Chain A
Amino acid sequence: MSGISELDQITRAASGDRAAQAALVNRNMPIIFRVAYRMLQDRAEAEDVTQETFLRAWKHLPNWQPKAKFSTWACTVALNLCRDRLRKKKPVLMDELPERVDTALRPEEALASAQAQDRIATKIAALPERQREALTLCALEGMTNIEAAAAMDVSVRALESLLARARRTLRAGLHAERVGDAE
């Protein structure tokens, strides 16, 4: 952590140190955005959640207790905000899912990633909410099982069960794809 502890950085950020605030944002904003994007499948909403997460962080920093890493705390906040938004959204059936078009991507990026992104994103989006959270934190963001369980407020065993079920579903989807391709 380049010679400065996270707690020092948080203390400095809370007291208005712009460099510490920028470092905290640069280090943690991408993961929070990606987690929110995978949960909501909407870039604008993911950005709103990211911004709201940091707004809460700024208010919380003066009373920060180093019980968890900042990223774990922030992911918990972001996941809760995502759950709130998902609850308010009208349920969408899988065959009604809108086509994923992200106009903010550059054309060459969009071209290169479209196929792969559609394939995996559709499969991840189809997972039940908690399984998607577990998979996002552990498999896609590389959190340890302990960190991810803390972020989701579940036991380590429960997290493991969610991960196993998520992977089983993805594996079944892959198998169905292969069978479909062979026919």
Chain B
Amino acid sequence: MTELNMTAERVLELIEAFGAAPGGWPEAERAAARALLEAQPDLFAAAIADARAVDDLLSEEVVPEPSLDLAQSILAQAPQVVPEQNNLIGVLGRVIFPQGARWPAGAVIASLFMGLVGGYSYASTGAGYDQADSAYYAAFGFDSGNAWLEAE
């Protein structure tokens, strides 16, 4: 807000909400409000006095310190670095899984899923047929075999 836009009403609102010290006023309005305050001090004297009384009251506030153990308790719950294993298993693990265990886990899940789908589709063609028929239907489906035979 520029000095031209700043009004006495707004300065009074700022004093009422943020106190007598311009340092506590919102940064965007501080300079303009301070300029108006300094230009017409009598206009704001009563509001400043009232606000200062509240500021003084707040400055008397004393809050106890937290106990010394609190920081230690908090740090005890903090995440910790997982130490690297330097034995044979640890070294082998880093060689086999250089990116960590995440990608093989994903690959295992994908393989399992593909196996299940493949197995299911193969098995579902097997009901009532012998092994050769099952292999045939798994390869060509139920409708494409004749077309292939005719093409041959």
Q: Tell me if chain B binds chain A.
A: yes
B63 touches A34 (CB 8 A): yes
B24 touches A104 (CB 8 A): no
Any B CB within 8 A of the CB of A155:
no
Q: B69-83 interface mask toward A, CB cutoff 8 Å, 1 = contact, 0 = none? A: 011011101111110
Q: Determine the distance from Cα of A13 to Cα of B51 in the docked complex, in whole angstroms.
A: 42
The answer to whether residues A163 and B17 also contact, given A29-B66, A51-B74 and a CB cut-off of 8 A, is yes
Q: Determine the distance from Cα of A22 to Cα of B78 in the docked complex, in whole angstroms.
A: 9
B13 touches A25 (CB 8 A): no
**In whole Å, how far is B85's beta carbon from the nearest beta carbon of chain A?**
16
Residues of chain B from 65 to 103 with CB closer than 8 A to chain A in the complex: 65-67, 70-71, 73-75, 77-82
Which residues of B sit under 8 angstroms from A18, Cβ to Cβ? Answer: 75, 78
Any B CB within 8 A of the CB of A64:
no
Any A CB within 8 A of the CB of B54:
yes
Question: Which secondary structure characterizes the binding site on chain A?
Answer: helix
Residues of A within 8 A of B (CB): 13-18, 21-22, 25-26, 29-30, 33-34, 37-38, 43, 46-47, 50-51, 54-55, 58, 61-62, 102, 104-105, 113, 116-117, 119-121, 123-124, 135, 138-140, 142, 144-146, 156, 160-161, 163-164, 167-168, 170-171, 174
Residues of B within 8 A of A (CB): 13, 16-19, 24, 26-27, 50-51, 53-55, 57-58, 60-67, 70-71, 73-75, 77-82
Q: Top 6 nearest A-B pairs by Cβ distance?
A: A16-B81, A113-B62, A116-B60, A163-B17, A164-B17, A54-B74
